[in-house]
Each structure stands twice: as structure tokens, then as C-alpha cells.
Amino acid sequence: MKLYQKKEKIVKNSVEVLDPTVLLEKASKGLLSLSVELGFEVLRQLMEEEVTELVGEKGKHQKGRKGYRHGTEKTKVVLGGQKVSTTRPRVRSNEGGEFPLETLQWFQREDSLNQTVLARLLSGVSCRKYEQTLDADSNHTSCTSKSEVSRRFIAGMQTAIDEFLGRGLEGSYPAIMIDGMCVGKMTIVAAMGIREGGDKQILGLIEGGSENTEVVKALLSDLLERGLDPTESRLYVIDGGKALAKGIKDTFGDHAVIQRCQVHKKRNVLSKLPESEQGNVGLLLSSAYLEFEYDQALSKLHKIVKKMETRFPSAAASLKEGMEETLTVHRLRLPGLLRQTLSNTNPIESANSTCARIIRRVTHFKNGEVALRQAAAGFMEAERSFRRIRGYREIPILQSALENLTGIKHKDTIKIA
């Protein structure tokens, strides 16, 4: 500014303020208003400097100039999540036509606008209420209507989805969790990978009518095409659906080791019991799953089945179905924290919850493409908050145990200290 520490001189890299009265008025409304006014003044000065370079100083004749000033006109520039009105100088060519101002084009680029729209909608703002989140006066803005915001969201999401779901899957993923969630009338099946260092990553999504085998196989086929190693012995944690297990086994064969979610199994068993019995049986199931040794845990589960067979045959049958697969982490002799993490689908269920929160504003999904786009938006946001799993330092133990169980050595296995 001209006035700096009471010395009337231009400070290097500063902005020359032409109307301090206007700035003081804006400052009284807050720092944002002041910053916007300064920004427009900077833009005006930059455009004027560019015009001067093109046609010379105003009011002075310049021999051989290629153009001349031609007044001003209204235009719009991008400011945050909207477009706002401003005035630009016009420069005409001597040969006809108009010189574009490169400076103006910088401020009219819509990348930042699209990114802001995408970020706000992913944070849970609806298209209808988007305009209410903006700071500028809506009478002088555009690109804030429901239809315009929706259009930009769809366009931005398509690009983001292509990048998100097209990422390469090189490297080792010792564990993968697969689960489905309902989105409208569709089911979105998601796969979450756990890397050697314990980092989580959404590997892929697919839409379908249900968690059927063909949908799961299509999802896994996509992962293989993008680089997932089919020869790695890997633990697949699922909620207990037979279709999921069959699709995994059909795709990976003996390289796949299945762990059914203990939380889902317990929930399914208790749902078939009267309320008076649920507390007691729940404690017995928890006690069995807390055993370290596989044989002891399996023996306790068999005793629970025997106890329920006569009085509650449905609950007993539910517990027997796939019972051994709920104890895979016991067979692998995984240590404490890692065993707790991989004995259930809680990590991917947490991502599902975040996804559901993001897309809760949408009540109608026209087709599977729309459902997949909305789900991808939710999972992209969920992935931003991912942290390494509990017990990640023990993943080398998991890798060794999987190789011993399957008898298949993985050439790329790397031990982590």
C-alpha cells in the first residue's frame, strides 16, 4: 500500500490502493469483504497493465500500435464456489476482432469452482442449499442454482470416479474386506484392501440388485484387471453371505482364506432367540470368541449349539452354518489387536456409515449409474479419514500364517519391522 509505517512510498510486492475510503468501508464488514475488494482491485490493475502493454498508455499516441481501447463491458470471474460480476476493459484489433486478456482468463478458469462445488456437496450440502453456504451477495452471483450445481457435481464426480475406481492395485494386500450396502433399490458392493503397512484403501465398487455371486465375481475381476495379484495368499473378511464366499473362492481358489464376521454371526444367532435368552447366549458367544486357541474356541461353540438344539433349533442352525470360518483368525493364531481388527467387518462398516451420511440427502436414485456415483462420492469422502488398522505391526505374522495355511509362498512378501 502507499501508506506503510507512516512512510509515503511503495513497498516491494505490495498492492497500490486507489481508494482507501472504499477499503475502510469494506473492512468494517469484516476481513472477507476487505479481501474480496482488494482482490478485485488487483484484478483491475493487472488487466489495465496488460491493456497498456497491448495498446500503450491511455491518452497517448503510440505509433504502430496493433489495437486500441474500446470501452468496458460486464463479465464474470470465479470467486470461491460461484461466479461474480465485474467489469473488464475491451481492446479491439486494428484489423477487426478483439484481443483476449490473458489475465482475465486466469480468473475465469472453472477448475476451482468445480472443486468447491464437489467439496461442499461431498461434505453433505444439498444442491438446494448450496447457495446458502456462500458469502457473496447472491444478487451479483451465478452458477449457484440447484440445476447448475447438480450439473457441475455430476461432471466433476464422473472425472473423480474414473480416477478413484481406475487406480492401479500393484503391491501386496494381505487382507481384503468385502461388504454390501443398500442405496435406494440397488446394492453397492465395496471392497476395502489392507496394505502391508496397515493402510486402508477402497479398491472397487459395483452396483447390483443384491450381493449375488456374479456381482462379486465381476467386482473381483475388475480388481484383477487393475493389477491385484491373484497368486497372493490373502484373508477375505466378509459378513457371512454365502454368495460372497462363493464368488471369492471361484475367483481365487486355494489362495483365498475366508473369515466370517463374528459380530454378524453373533447378531444373527441372537435375533433368533427370545429376549430372555439373548443376554446369556451373547456372553457365551463372546467368551468363545475370546479364546486364543482354535480348538478351545470351537469346542465352546459346539457346546452352545448343543445347548440350543432342542429349545431353539433355528438359532442353533444359524450358529452351525459356517461356524469354522468365524474362527479363521484363531486358526491363523493372529495376535491380539490384529485378531480383533480382522475378526469382523467393522472397518468397512465404518466406511459404509460415512458413505450413508454423505448421500442421505438423496432419496431417489434413477438408475444404477446414479446410485454408483453417489456411493463413490461417499466412499471417496470416507477414504479421506482412513487411518492404519489396529495391530498393523503384526501384519507380517498374518502373511506368514496365510502361507503356512495355504502352502503357497508369495514371491513379493516383504517383512515389516
Show the domains of the chain with their CATH numbers: 13-55+68-161 (no CATH), 171-406 (3.30.420.40)
pLDDT of res. 414: 41
HSE-up (13 A, CA, CB side) for residue 174: 28
Strand 186-194 to strand 200-208: parallel, antiparallel, or no bridges (unpaired)? antiparallel
How far apart (Å, rounded) are the C-alpha atoms in residues 204 and 179? Answer: 11
Q: Which of 295, 292, 296, 268 is nearest to 282 (CA)?
A: 268
CA dihedral 384, 370, 237, 274 (to 10 degrees): 110
Q: Which of 184, 235, 240 is nearest to 211 (CA)?
A: 240
How far apart (Å, rounded) are the C-alpha atoms in residues 253 and 247? Answer: 10
Cα 153 off chain centre by: 14
Task: Please give the grid coordinates belonging to residue 218.
Answer: 465381476
CA dihedral 32, 37, 39, 42 (to 10 degrees): -160
Strand 141-142 to strand 175-183: parallel, antiparallel, or no bridges (unpaired)? unpaired
Residues 6+ apart with CB under 8 A from 7: none
Rg of the Cα atoms in the chain: 31
pLDDT of res. 162: 78
User: For cell 469483504, what's the residue?
Assistant: 33
Q: pTM of the predicted model, to two decimals?
A: 0.69
User: For cell 477499503, what's the residue?
Assistant: 23
Q: Determine which helix (DSSP H) or strand (DSSP E) holds 296, and give its type and residue range.
A: helix 294-308
Residues 6+ apart with CB under 8 A from 245: 238, 258, 260, 322, 325
Query: What are the DSSP calls for 309-341, one per residue?
Result: TTT-HHHHHHHHTTTGGGGHHHHTT--HHHHHH
Task: Please give the grid coordinates belonging to residue 93.
Answer: 484489433
In one-letter notation, the amino acid at residue 122 is L
pLDDT of res. 140: 54
Series of mean pLDDT values for 10-residue runs along the chain (417 residues)? 43 52 64 66 76 76 74 74 74 80 70 61 62 56 60 67 84 94 84 94 88 89 93 92 89 93 94 93 95 95 94 94 94 94 94 83 68 82 90 94 83 43
Residues 6+ apart with CB under 8 A from 109: 78
pLDDT of res. 91: 81
pLDDT of res. 85: 72
pLDDT of res. 90: 83
